[in-house]
């Protein structure tokens, strides 16, 4: 080696200090591989162990949903305030600036649209090589527990978990709520646990009665979807209750991008998730932000 001679002598071995053995801040992931922990740490803020995911993958079943007609215009101002972006590869590649450098939760299941009554027959719609090219930090796969496509959707989930594991990419299992499917706490309790038992690293579900028990019985982090657009205070109450009862974050879409002031709303949700704001305090933040953006002619 060229510099073998005359090098500074190594002497700081810290002999009195045992090597640091750190715990890991994401629930149930203490035994995961380094790469997976690194990706999960991009999604879940290590300071709070929580996350605000911005979901805008709706187009994969709904086409141009209200608020997402122009992905470029809608998402660009919101991305800086999200911890992670959940989207399809088509939306990301065509409309989202990679320089936002936010971890991507890549929608990896596909195969039906809202035109079908039974949407439970999906397939895996992204090869793992492409997920790697997209620098995905997580794959997202919809699972239809109790529907006619239950078995094939569970197979999609485990296939994604296996492919992702080869590259230390975690998988988020998404509990679907189809037209014919139950939305009871009993249903969500079963669905969340099944997804985690099959190896999902994150579970996305809906807030419901007895959520505290559902979160306790799910050995990996749960993030809650927002669902249909609610009045802002109600959406903030939903996020607050979910966090108070054990959710590790939110994965919200319509309640952000369909709000009168999407930037104000994502900032308010952030304050609830990461800073312990009450829904009322967060609503104040939202109103202040909305007023100031209106003054600047923005929203």
> For residues 241 and 245, what is the distance between their CA atoms, to the nearest angstrom?
6
Q: How far apart are CA 121 and CA 119, in angstroms?
A: 6
Neighbours of 43 (CB within 10 A): 26
CB of 226 to ligand 5RP, least distance (A): 3
CA distance 54 to 92: 13
And the tokens for 79? 């991305």
Residues forming contacts to ligand 5RP in the complex (CB under 6 A) are 55, 57, 86, 142, 174, 204, 225-227, 252-255
C-beta closer to ligand 5RP: residue 66 or 291: 66
Strand partners, 142: 174
Least distance CB 146 / ligand 5RP (angstroms):
15
Q: Which helix (H) or strand (E) holds 232?
A: helix 232-244
Nearer to ligand 5RP, 204 or 237 (CB): 204
By beta-carbon proximity to ligand 5RP, the closer residue of 234 and 288 is 234
Task: Supply the minimum distance, in Å, between the C-beta of residue 76 and ligand 5RP.
Answer: 19
| Active-site option among 204, 237, 267, 290 | 204
Nearer to ligand 5RP, 25 or 195 (CB): 195
Nearer to ligand 5RP, 27 or 254 (CB): 254
Check if 213 is active-site.
no
The answer to whether the beta carbons of residues 173 and 139 sit under 8 Å apart is no
**Minimum distance of ligand 5RP from residue 295's CB (angstroms):** 28
Q: Kindly state the smallest distance separating residue 83's Cβ from ligand 5RP, in Å.
A: 15
Q: Which of 200, 132, 123, 130 is nearest to 162 (CA)?
A: 200
Q: What are the contacts of 31-35 at 24+ separation with CB within 8 A?
A: 32/168, 32/170, 32/201, 33/168, 34/168, 35/167, 35/168
Task: Tell me the catalytic residues.
Answer: 204
């Amino acid at each position: 080696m060229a510099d073998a001679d005359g090098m500074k002598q190594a002497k700081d071995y810290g002999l009195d200090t045992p090597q640091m053995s750190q715990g890991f801040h994401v629930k149930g992931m203490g035994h995961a591989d380094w790469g997976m922990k690194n990706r999960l740490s991009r999604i879940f803020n290590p300071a709070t162990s929580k996350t605000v995911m911005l979901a805008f993958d709706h187009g994969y079943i709904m086409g141009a949903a209200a608020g997402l007609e122009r992905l470029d215009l809608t998402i660009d101002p919101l991305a800086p305030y999200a911890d992670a972006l959940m989207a399809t590869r088509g939306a990301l590649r065509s409309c989202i600036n990679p320089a936002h450098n936010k971890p991507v939760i890549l929608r990896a299941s596909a195969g039906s649209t809202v035109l079908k009554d039974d949407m439970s027959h999906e397939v895996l719609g992204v090869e793992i090589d492409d997920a790697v090219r997209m620098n995905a930090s997580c794959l997202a796969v919809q699972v239809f527990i109790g529907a006619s496509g239950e078995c094939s959707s569970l197979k999609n989930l485990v296939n994604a978990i296996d492919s992702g594991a080869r590259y230390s990419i975690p998988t988020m299992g998404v509990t679907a709520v189809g037209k014919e499917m139950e939305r009871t706490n009993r249903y969500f309790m079963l669905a969340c646990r099944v997804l985690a038992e099959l190896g999902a690293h994150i579970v996305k579900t809906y807030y419901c009665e007895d959520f505290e028990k559902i979160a306790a019985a799910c050995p990996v982090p749960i993030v809650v979807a927002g669902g249909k657009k609610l009045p802002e205070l109600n959406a903030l109450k939903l996020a607050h209750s979910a966090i108070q009862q054990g959710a590790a974050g939110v994965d919200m879409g319509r309640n952000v991008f369909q709000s009168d002031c999407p930037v104000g709303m994502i900032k308010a949700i952030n304050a609830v998730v990461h800073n312990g704001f009450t829904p009322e305090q967060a609503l104040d933040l939202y109103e202040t932000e909305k007023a100031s953006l209106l003054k600047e002619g923005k929203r």
